[in-house]
Amino acid sequence: MRVLLRMLMMGLLVGAAGCDIIPDGDGNGDGNGNGNGNGNGNNNQAKSFSADLSGDAERPDQVETDATGTGTFELNDAETQLTYNVTATGLSGDVNGAHFHLSDNGAEGSGGIVFPFTDEVVNDGNGGATVQGVWDVSADDVANIRAGDIYVNFHTDANPAGEIRGNLVEAS
């Protein structure tokens, strides 16, 4: 009985010190019992993102176009891959360039291409296009995505600098 009482008291003392006596999966939590099983401690951070693409979002000059697009993006649990699905309609022609770019959200001009996916675009021949795939992302890429500093851009012959673009934002 004394041993049980001592163990109980030790458990209360350890618990009062903010430590876990029950493992949180793999022991790689944040010290408050908030482990996520993969060691990165990002359990409460966004994993799903979206983008609305338009000519109004093009920089440095807006593009007058009827084209619009939407995208959905999902980080895997290890935060090493971003699955993407982007569709566009009303484009002036086939997409001949499509990429993820780095830029401050809404900033003038264009940031550098961080991941091209032109070869994966499927054009329908009527101003529509779809692209699906997986981007192997780094920790810096994930930080830029979460900061709203990554955007998708679709280019056409009529708009070689880009016809529509949209920044990735946390999905609601």
| 31 vs 19: CA distance, rounded Å | 7
CA angle 48, 114, 147 (to 5 degrees): 45
Domain boundaries, the chain: 1-44, 48-170
CATH of domain 48-170: 2.60.40.200
Residue 141's pLDDT is what? 96
Pull the structure tokens for residue 112: 């550098």
* Residue in the structure block whose two tokens are 């499509």: 98
- Do residues 126 and 162 lie in contact, with contact meaning Cβ atoms separated by under 8 Å? no
Residues 6+ apart with CB under 8 A from 9: none
> What pTM, to 2 d.p., does this model score?
0.73
The yes-or-no verdict on residue 78 having pLDDT over 90 is: yes
| 18 vs 35: CA distance, rounded Å | 14
pLDDT tens-digit profile of 113-140? 999 999 999 999 999 999 999 999 999 9
| 3 vs 7: CA distance, rounded Å | 6
DSSP H or E segment with residue 43:
none
